[in-house]
Structure 1
């Protein structure tokens, strides 16, 4: 597996990324029993318009995972982490988050996931993220926020 910088576009990469994102968030929607996750319903145009920095994980030429974040001088905010459901539990998500952690330097890293998404929560906790709070972002949809300090 190789991890490289990517930029979503309206071509094959963008379409593949969007399909993987929809598939990954469909799994989370089942886990948390709520399909109101915004990236689950995002269009290709919306994906390309997001002002995020992206990394893609590739198995040969096939995109198998991606992570995107925004950043300031003090904080890196992981906006989304998606892995092709066909290759779950192979360390791809962890490798992507570790790469973000390496690039963050001495900045704090924050991330949120569905409160009932135990696989994601376990991943972040295993990587040293500490739970910050649970927030009801819209009625009945709860997320758990995490932070990691360098």
Structure 2
């Protein structure tokens, strides 16, 4: 798997680099599989499967106007993070980790890479209110919960911010 601008390491080592699912259908298919698996786990944790990226199609994923980083080991995509940004704010749109790689530091490495990319900008993210593992990760990385929001009847998210 080609990660544009990746920091290549030794076999078995996690490599993080820019990915472009819009330009690479094979990569996009791998990413979509990881995304659907990751959001299926979140759906089970929060007791609700109305998470939009869980229903996203390959065409939707490839067309999304997002910046992406992927995490790969031994040629296998283990996770990815996507965001939008402007001069003041980086808004993390999604963080997905293959369930087989959960609790292995992939999510932390991806969020840390985006924080580094953000520099002095404020960073925002949201997750299911009942998604305790994601909430612990964001809080451990310096994010503070700002609001709980009911985005659909009975579907709650917690919004987080990390000051610049």
- Measured against aligned partners, the alpha-carbon deviations of 1:88-140 in whole angstroms (never above 9, x if no partner) come to 00000000000000000100000000000000000000000000000000111
Partner SS for 1:133: strand
Q: Give the 4+ runs in structure 1 shifted more than 3 A.
A: none
- Measured against aligned partners, the alpha-carbon deviations of 1:32-62 in whole angstroms (never above 9, x if no partner) come to 0000000000000000110000000000211
- Measured against aligned partners, the alpha-carbon deviations of 1:68-91 in whole angstroms (never above 9, x if no partner) come to 000011000000000000010000
Partner of 1:81: 95
Partner of 1:36: 50
Partner SS for 1:106: coil
Partner of 1:50: 64
Query: Aligned-pair distance for 1:11?
Result: 1.9
Partner of 1:2: 15
Query: Aligned-pair distance for 1:149?
Result: 1.2
Query: Aligned-pair distance for 1:142?
Result: 0.3
**Residue ranges of structure 2 left out of the alignment (5+ in a row):** 1-13
Which of 157, 160, 163 is the aligned partner of 1:143? 157
Partner of 1:18: 32
Partner SS for 1:128: coil
RMSD after superposition: 0.7
Partner of 2:3: none
**Residue ranges of structure 1 left out of the alignment (5+ in a row):** none
- TM-score under structure 2 length normalisation: 0.90
- TM-score under structure 1 length normalisation: 0.98
CA distance in 1, matches of 2:61, 2:92: 15
Which of 106, 109, 120 is the aligned partner of 1:106? 120
Aligned residues: 150
